[in-house]
Amino acid sequence: MQIIEVMTRQVQTCQTSDPVEKAAKIMEQGNVGAVPIVDQAGRLTGIMTDRDIVLRGVAKNKDLRMTTCEELMTGEVKCCEPHTEIHEAANMLAQHQIRRLPVVDNQGRLVGICAIGDLAVRDIYINESGEALNQISKGSGTIQ
């Protein structure tokens, strides 16, 4: 089975020049924890997570209405193509300790996103998604 069969196709995005506040509102309205950031041609340039907003924005007293997505986004994004096998995608999620995998076409344009939960909806991939989540959740530090 391939990612294209389980990915979310209609993904809300922001452009690099959009204010961070716009990304936060998309997250709230869609009940999601990340928004892909694209250029004017729809090519993936980064991803904005709720964690990016808190650590790079709120914690540093940034005005989220004036700060652009480009300033706070994570720029190096792991992604895959629509015909990537689900097993490979699950391995990527685990290896890179990420919960979401943007899906891009051969020109780098965003066509969807696959979250860890998308893998779990298919019974045959419960083990893969569980293993990926286990690896993602290991964390690198301790809570004090």
| Domains of the chain listed by start with CATH number | 3-137 (3.10.580.10)
Q: Could you tell me if 99 and 78 are in contact, meaning their C-beta atoms sit under 8 angstroms apart?
A: no
Question: How confident is the model at residue 126, as a pLDDT?
Answer: 46
Give the torsion through C-alpha atoms of 110, 112, 115, 118, to 10 deg: -160
Write down the pTM of the prediction: 0.81
Which of 79, 120, 112 is CA-nearest to residue 98?
Answer: 79
Tell me the backbone φ, ψ of residue 4, rounded to 5 degrees. Answer: -55, -25
Q: Could you tell me if 119 and 89 are in contact, meaning their C-beta atoms sit under 8 angstroms apart?
A: yes
pLDDT in tens, 17-76: 999 999 999 999 999 999 999 999 999 999 999 999 999 999 999 999 999 999 999 999
Question: How confident is the model at residue 118, as a pLDDT?
Answer: 82
120-125 mean pLDDT = 56
Which of 3, 22, 13, 80 is CA-nearest to residue 47?
Answer: 13
Distances (CA, A) of 3 to 15, 49, 125, 132: 24, 21, 12, 15
Structure tokens at 67: 């700060």
